Amino acid sequence: MPGRSFVSAADFSRTEVLELLATAKALKADPRGARPLDRRVLAMIFEKPSLRTRVSFETGMVQLGGATINLAPSDIRMGAREAVADVARVMGRLCDGIMARVFAHDTVVQLATHAGVPVINGLSDLEHPCQALADFLTIDEHKDLASQPVVAYVGDGNNVCHSLLLLGEILGLEVRVGCPPGYEPAAEIVARCPRAAVTNDPRAAVAGADVVYTDVWASMGQEDSAAERRRLFRDYQVNEALFALAAPQAIFLHCLPAHRGEEVTDQVLDGPQSQVLDQAENRLHAQKAVLATLLTA
Protein backbone atom coordinates (compact mmCIF):
# COMPACT_ATOMS: atom_id res chain seq x y z
CA MET A 1 0.00 0.00 0.00
CA PRO A 2 2.86 2.53 0.46
CA GLY A 3 2.69 5.30 -2.13
CA ARG A 4 -0.95 4.69 -3.04
CA SER A 5 -3.82 7.14 -2.69
CA PHE A 6 -7.06 6.80 -0.71
CA VAL A 7 -9.70 8.46 -2.85
CA SER A 8 -12.56 6.01 -2.40
CA ALA A 9 -13.61 3.60 0.34
CA ALA A 10 -13.36 0.93 -2.35
CA ASP A 11 -9.67 1.56 -3.05
CA PHE A 12 -8.42 -1.28 -0.84
CA SER A 13 -9.13 -5.00 -0.67
CA ARG A 14 -10.65 -6.69 2.37
CA THR A 15 -7.21 -7.88 3.45
CA GLU A 16 -5.79 -4.37 3.13
CA VAL A 17 -8.70 -2.82 5.05
CA LEU A 18 -8.21 -5.32 7.86
CA GLU A 19 -4.49 -4.48 7.89
CA LEU A 20 -5.33 -0.77 8.20
CA LEU A 21 -7.73 -1.49 11.06
CA ALA A 22 -5.09 -3.59 12.82
CA THR A 23 -2.56 -0.79 12.40
CA ALA A 24 -5.08 1.71 13.76
CA LYS A 25 -5.61 -0.44 16.87
CA ALA A 26 -1.87 -0.75 17.43
CA LEU A 27 -1.34 3.00 17.08
CA LYS A 28 -4.28 3.69 19.38
CA ALA A 29 -2.80 1.41 22.02
CA ASP A 30 0.56 3.22 21.85
CA PRO A 31 -0.12 6.81 20.70
CA ARG A 32 3.34 8.09 21.65
CA GLY A 33 5.18 5.13 20.16
CA ALA A 34 6.35 4.72 16.56
CA ARG A 35 7.18 7.87 14.59
CA PRO A 36 7.55 6.54 11.02
CA LEU A 37 6.87 9.89 9.35
CA ASP A 38 9.87 11.82 10.62
CA ARG A 39 10.37 14.89 8.37
CA ARG A 40 7.37 13.95 6.21
CA VAL A 41 5.03 16.84 5.33
CA LEU A 42 1.31 16.56 4.58
CA ALA A 43 -0.35 19.40 2.65
CA MET A 44 -3.98 19.82 3.72
CA ILE A 45 -6.34 21.49 1.25
CA PHE A 46 -9.66 22.72 2.64
CA GLU A 47 -12.48 23.97 0.45
CA LYS A 48 -14.95 23.28 3.27
CA PRO A 49 -14.81 24.15 6.97
CA SER A 50 -13.42 21.44 9.20
CA LEU A 51 -13.10 20.54 12.87
CA ARG A 52 -12.58 16.78 13.23
CA THR A 53 -10.79 16.34 9.89
CA ARG A 54 -8.28 19.11 10.45
CA VAL A 55 -7.56 18.38 14.12
CA SER A 56 -7.31 14.61 13.63
CA PHE A 57 -4.95 14.87 10.64
CA GLU A 58 -2.76 17.51 12.30
CA THR A 59 -2.60 15.58 15.56
CA GLY A 60 -1.94 12.36 13.70
CA MET A 61 0.95 13.77 11.69
CA VAL A 62 2.55 15.26 14.81
CA GLN A 63 2.23 11.98 16.72
CA LEU A 64 3.77 10.12 13.77
CA GLY A 65 6.70 12.54 13.65
CA GLY A 66 5.63 14.62 10.65
CA ALA A 67 4.18 18.06 10.01
CA THR A 68 1.24 19.62 8.17
CA ILE A 69 0.62 22.70 6.02
CA ASN A 70 -2.94 24.02 6.10
CA LEU A 71 -4.19 25.57 2.84
CA ALA A 72 -7.49 27.47 2.97
CA PRO A 73 -9.54 28.29 -0.16
CA SER A 74 -8.21 31.86 -0.23
CA ASP A 75 -4.62 30.57 -0.25
CA ILE A 76 -4.77 28.77 -3.59
CA ARG A 77 -8.25 29.26 -5.17
CA MET A 78 -7.83 25.86 -6.77
CA GLY A 79 -9.64 25.56 -10.08
CA ALA A 80 -9.96 29.36 -10.40
CA ARG A 81 -6.55 30.92 -9.88
CA GLU A 82 -4.76 27.73 -10.85
CA ALA A 83 -5.78 24.45 -12.45
CA VAL A 84 -6.19 21.48 -10.12
CA ALA A 85 -3.65 19.46 -12.10
CA ASP A 86 -1.05 22.24 -11.76
CA VAL A 87 -1.65 22.49 -8.01
CA ALA A 88 -1.22 18.73 -7.75
CA ARG A 89 2.04 18.67 -9.70
CA VAL A 90 3.57 21.48 -7.64
CA MET A 91 2.42 20.15 -4.27
CA GLY A 92 3.72 16.71 -5.22
CA ARG A 93 7.19 18.25 -5.62
CA LEU A 94 7.02 20.05 -2.27
CA CYS A 95 5.21 17.66 0.05
CA ASP A 96 5.07 13.94 0.81
CA GLY A 97 1.29 13.67 0.62
CA ILE A 98 -1.90 15.65 0.17
CA MET A 99 -5.16 15.51 2.12
CA ALA A 100 -8.04 17.28 0.38
CA ARG A 101 -11.47 18.20 1.79
CA VAL A 102 -13.38 19.46 -1.23
CA PHE A 103 -16.74 19.91 -2.89
CA ALA A 104 -16.34 18.03 -6.18
CA HIS A 105 -15.11 14.44 -6.04
CA ASP A 106 -13.38 14.97 -9.38
CA THR A 107 -11.03 17.41 -7.64
CA VAL A 108 -9.63 14.59 -5.48
CA VAL A 109 -9.42 12.34 -8.51
CA GLN A 110 -7.43 14.96 -10.42
CA LEU A 111 -5.11 15.55 -7.47
CA ALA A 112 -4.43 11.81 -7.18
CA THR A 113 -3.88 11.52 -10.94
CA HIS A 114 -1.28 14.30 -11.17
CA ALA A 115 0.40 14.69 -7.76
CA GLY A 116 2.83 11.77 -7.85
CA VAL A 117 2.41 11.42 -4.07
CA PRO A 118 -0.38 9.82 -2.01
CA VAL A 119 -3.63 11.80 -1.99
CA ILE A 120 -6.19 11.21 0.76
CA ASN A 121 -9.85 12.11 0.39
CA GLY A 122 -10.78 14.05 3.53
CA LEU A 123 -14.33 14.48 2.16
CA SER A 124 -15.91 15.09 -1.22
CA ASP A 125 -19.49 15.37 -2.40
CA LEU A 126 -19.43 11.68 -3.37
CA GLU A 127 -17.49 10.00 -0.54
CA HIS A 128 -16.01 10.30 2.93
CA PRO A 129 -13.72 7.25 3.10
CA CYS A 130 -11.69 8.28 6.17
CA GLN A 131 -14.93 8.59 8.11
CA ALA A 132 -16.02 5.12 7.03
CA LEU A 133 -12.70 3.62 8.12
CA ALA A 134 -13.12 5.20 11.56
CA ASP A 135 -16.73 3.99 11.65
CA PHE A 136 -15.77 0.37 11.08
CA LEU A 137 -12.93 0.65 13.58
CA THR A 138 -15.55 1.75 16.12
CA ILE A 139 -17.94 -1.02 15.11
CA ASP A 140 -15.15 -3.58 15.42
CA GLU A 141 -14.28 -2.36 18.91
CA HIS A 142 -17.86 -2.58 20.14
CA LYS A 143 -19.39 -5.35 18.02
CA ASP A 144 -16.49 -7.33 16.46
CA LEU A 145 -16.54 -7.36 12.67
CA ALA A 146 -16.02 -11.14 12.72
CA SER A 147 -19.54 -11.51 14.15
CA GLN A 148 -20.91 -9.78 11.01
CA PRO A 149 -22.95 -7.06 12.70
CA VAL A 150 -25.81 -5.55 10.70
CA VAL A 151 -25.43 -1.81 10.10
CA ALA A 152 -28.46 0.44 9.57
CA TYR A 153 -28.06 3.94 8.17
CA VAL A 154 -31.07 6.28 8.36
CA GLY A 155 -31.35 9.63 6.57
CA ASP A 156 -29.84 11.20 3.48
CA GLY A 157 -28.07 8.90 1.01
CA ASN A 158 -25.05 11.20 1.02
CA ASN A 159 -21.26 10.89 0.83
CA VAL A 160 -21.03 9.33 4.30
CA CYS A 161 -23.65 6.77 3.32
CA HIS A 162 -21.79 5.97 0.08
CA SER A 163 -18.49 5.20 1.82
CA LEU A 164 -20.28 3.23 4.54
CA LEU A 165 -21.92 1.08 1.85
CA LEU A 166 -18.71 0.52 -0.10
CA LEU A 167 -16.53 -0.35 2.87
CA GLY A 168 -19.27 -2.49 4.40
CA GLU A 169 -19.47 -4.46 1.17
CA ILE A 170 -15.69 -5.00 1.15
CA LEU A 171 -15.88 -6.28 4.73
CA GLY A 172 -18.76 -8.60 3.89
CA LEU A 173 -21.37 -6.89 6.06
CA GLU A 174 -25.04 -6.17 5.50
CA VAL A 175 -25.65 -2.42 5.39
CA ARG A 176 -29.26 -1.28 5.29
CA VAL A 177 -30.20 2.23 4.26
CA GLY A 178 -33.50 3.92 5.08
CA CYS A 179 -34.07 7.14 3.08
CA PRO A 180 -37.01 9.26 1.92
CA PRO A 181 -38.01 8.73 -1.71
CA GLY A 182 -35.67 10.66 -3.97
CA TYR A 183 -32.88 10.82 -1.39
CA GLU A 184 -31.50 7.30 -1.76
CA PRO A 185 -27.76 6.74 -2.25
CA ALA A 186 -26.49 6.96 -5.82
CA ALA A 187 -27.56 4.02 -7.97
CA GLU A 188 -24.00 3.38 -9.16
CA ILE A 189 -22.85 3.01 -5.54
CA VAL A 190 -25.71 0.67 -4.60
CA ALA A 191 -25.03 -1.44 -7.70
CA ARG A 192 -21.54 -2.17 -6.34
CA CYS A 193 -22.95 -3.38 -3.02
CA PRO A 194 -25.06 -6.54 -3.52
CA ARG A 195 -25.28 -7.14 0.24
CA ALA A 196 -26.87 -3.74 0.79
CA ALA A 197 -30.59 -3.12 1.20
CA VAL A 198 -32.17 0.26 0.45
CA THR A 199 -35.67 1.05 1.66
CA ASN A 200 -37.92 4.05 2.19
CA ASP A 201 -39.06 2.58 5.53
CA PRO A 202 -36.72 3.60 8.39
CA ARG A 203 -38.26 0.98 10.66
CA ALA A 204 -37.44 -1.81 8.25
CA ALA A 205 -33.86 -0.56 8.02
CA VAL A 206 -33.37 -0.43 11.79
CA ALA A 207 -35.24 -3.59 12.84
CA GLY A 208 -32.79 -5.92 14.61
CA ALA A 209 -29.71 -3.97 13.52
CA ASP A 210 -26.55 -4.02 15.64
CA VAL A 211 -25.52 -0.50 14.62
CA VAL A 212 -27.78 2.48 13.94
CA TYR A 213 -26.15 5.39 12.14
CA THR A 214 -27.41 8.77 10.99
CA ASP A 215 -26.06 12.05 9.64
CA VAL A 216 -27.33 15.59 9.12
CA TRP A 217 -30.21 15.96 6.68
CA ALA A 218 -28.62 18.90 4.84
CA SER A 219 -24.87 18.78 4.26
CA MET A 220 -22.57 21.73 3.57
CA GLY A 221 -23.65 23.33 0.32
CA GLN A 222 -27.28 22.21 0.75
CA GLU A 223 -28.37 24.98 3.12
CA ASP A 224 -30.93 26.33 0.64
CA SER A 225 -32.87 23.07 0.84
CA ALA A 226 -32.60 22.64 4.62
CA ALA A 227 -36.19 23.65 5.40
CA GLU A 228 -37.63 21.34 2.73
CA ARG A 229 -35.42 18.50 3.92
CA ARG A 230 -36.60 18.95 7.52
CA ARG A 231 -40.16 18.44 6.30
CA LEU A 232 -39.36 15.41 4.15
CA PHE A 233 -37.05 13.73 6.67
CA ARG A 234 -39.06 14.19 9.87
CA ASP A 235 -40.15 10.53 9.92
CA TYR A 236 -36.49 9.50 9.65
CA GLN A 237 -35.40 10.99 12.97
CA VAL A 238 -33.49 8.51 15.14
CA ASN A 239 -35.44 8.85 18.36
CA GLU A 240 -36.05 6.46 21.24
CA ALA A 241 -38.96 4.76 19.48
CA LEU A 242 -36.99 4.07 16.28
CA PHE A 243 -33.82 3.07 18.12
CA ALA A 244 -35.83 0.61 20.24
CA LEU A 245 -36.43 -1.47 17.09
CA ALA A 246 -32.72 -2.26 16.83
CA ALA A 247 -31.02 -5.16 18.61
CA PRO A 248 -31.08 -4.77 22.43
CA GLN A 249 -27.36 -3.99 22.66
CA ALA A 250 -27.16 -1.95 19.47
CA ILE A 251 -24.84 1.05 19.34
CA PHE A 252 -25.61 4.46 17.90
CA LEU A 253 -23.20 6.32 15.60
CA HIS A 254 -23.17 9.81 14.08
CA CYS A 255 -20.23 11.33 12.21
CA LEU A 256 -20.94 14.79 13.74
CA PRO A 257 -21.66 17.64 13.85
CA ALA A 258 -25.21 16.74 14.89
CA HIS A 259 -28.30 18.89 14.55
CA ARG A 260 -29.93 17.92 17.83
CA GLY A 261 -33.67 17.59 17.58
CA GLU A 262 -33.55 17.03 13.83
CA GLU A 263 -31.92 13.78 12.65
CA VAL A 264 -31.39 12.57 16.24
CA THR A 265 -32.79 13.33 19.68
CA ASP A 266 -30.71 14.17 22.72
CA GLN A 267 -31.93 10.98 24.40
CA VAL A 268 -30.28 8.83 21.73
CA LEU A 269 -27.23 11.00 21.00
CA ASP A 270 -26.35 11.28 24.70
CA GLY A 271 -27.71 7.87 25.68
CA PRO A 272 -25.76 4.91 27.10
CA GLN A 273 -25.59 3.12 23.76
CA SER A 274 -24.20 6.10 21.86
CA GLN A 275 -20.57 5.69 20.82
CA VAL A 276 -20.22 8.97 18.91
CA LEU A 277 -17.27 10.16 20.99
CA ASP A 278 -15.35 6.92 20.45
CA GLN A 279 -16.23 7.29 16.77
CA ALA A 280 -14.92 10.86 16.66
CA GLU A 281 -11.69 9.88 18.43
CA ASN A 282 -11.22 6.98 16.05
CA ARG A 283 -10.90 9.41 13.16
CA LEU A 284 -7.44 10.12 14.61
CA HIS A 285 -6.39 6.49 14.89
CA ALA A 286 -7.82 5.37 11.53
CA GLN A 287 -6.19 8.28 9.73
CA LYS A 288 -2.88 7.67 11.47
CA ALA A 289 -3.01 4.14 10.07
CA VAL A 290 -3.63 5.52 6.57
CA LEU A 291 -0.85 8.08 6.90
CA ALA A 292 1.67 5.66 8.39
CA THR A 293 0.90 3.13 5.64
CA LEU A 294 0.73 5.34 2.56
CA LEU A 295 3.35 8.00 3.29
CA THR A 296 6.22 5.63 4.05
CA ALA A 297 7.07 4.92 0.42
The catalytic residue positions are 101, 128, 131, 215, 255, 283
Chain centroid offset of residue 220 CA: 15
Angle between helices 129-143 and 276-294 (to 10 degrees): 120
Q: CB neighbours of 260 closer than 8 A, spacing ≥ 6?
A: 266, 269
| Residue whose C-alpha is closest to residue 91's, from 120, 60, 62, 117 | 117
CB atoms within 10 A of CB 273: 14
With 0-12 CB in 10 A as exposed, 13-18 as middle and 19+ as buried, what is 144? exposed
| Residue whose C-alpha is closest to residue 183's, from 217, 157, 161, 221 | 157
CB of 242 closer than 8 Å to CB of 265: no
Residues 247, 207: Cα–Cα separation, whole Å: 7
Residues 121, 130: Cα–Cα separation, whole Å: 7
Output the CA–CA distances (angstroms, integers) from residue 4 to 19, 118, 244, 266, in the order listed: 15, 5, 42, 40
